[in-house]
Amino acid sequence: MLKTLLGQSAEARAEAYLAARGLAPVARNWRCRFGEIDLVMQHGATLVFVEVRLRRNADYGGAAASVTPAKQKKLLAAARLYLAGLKTMPACRFDVVTLAGEGVTDWIQNAFDDVG
C-alpha cells in the first residue's frame, strides 16, 4: 500500500513537472496485457510515453538504470497497443523521469528508441 502511494505521488509530481515545461497530460497509469505506461503526455505534435522512476538512493545504478532492456521491451509493446487504438499515428518518443526524495532529479528525453 505504501509503495503504491509513493508511486502515485511520484507520478503526480512527474506529471506536474512535465506540465510546467509545456507537456499536456493525456493518460496516467494506462494498463494493458503487456504492463503499464505511467504517463502519456503530448509535447507539441509528439506523443510521449513516460516511465517514472523513484529511488531512495543510487545503489545498483540509480533510477534511470532500472529501466532495463526487459522493461523497455514491455513499454514498447504497451505503447504499440496504445497506438493501435488511435486513428492516426503521431510522432512518438519514450522519456524517463527520475525522482529522489521530493523532487525530480532528471528528465531524460528520448531515453530509448523502438529497436524492435
Please name each of the domains of the chain with its CATH number: 2-112 (3.40.1350.10)
What cell numbers appear for 76 in the block?
Answer: 514498447
Q: Look at phi and psi of residue 110 and say left if phi exceeds 0, alpha if psi is from -120 to 50, else beta.
A: left
Evaluate if pTM is beyond 0.85.
Answer: yes
20 Cβ neighbours under 8 A, 6+ residues apart: none
pLDDT in tens, the chain (116 residues): 545 767 788 899 999 999 999 999 999 999 999 999 999 999 999 999 999 988 765 555 566 667 888 999 999 999 999 999 999 999 999 999 988 877 678 999 999 876 44
In whole angstroms, what separates CA 72 from the centre of its chain? 10
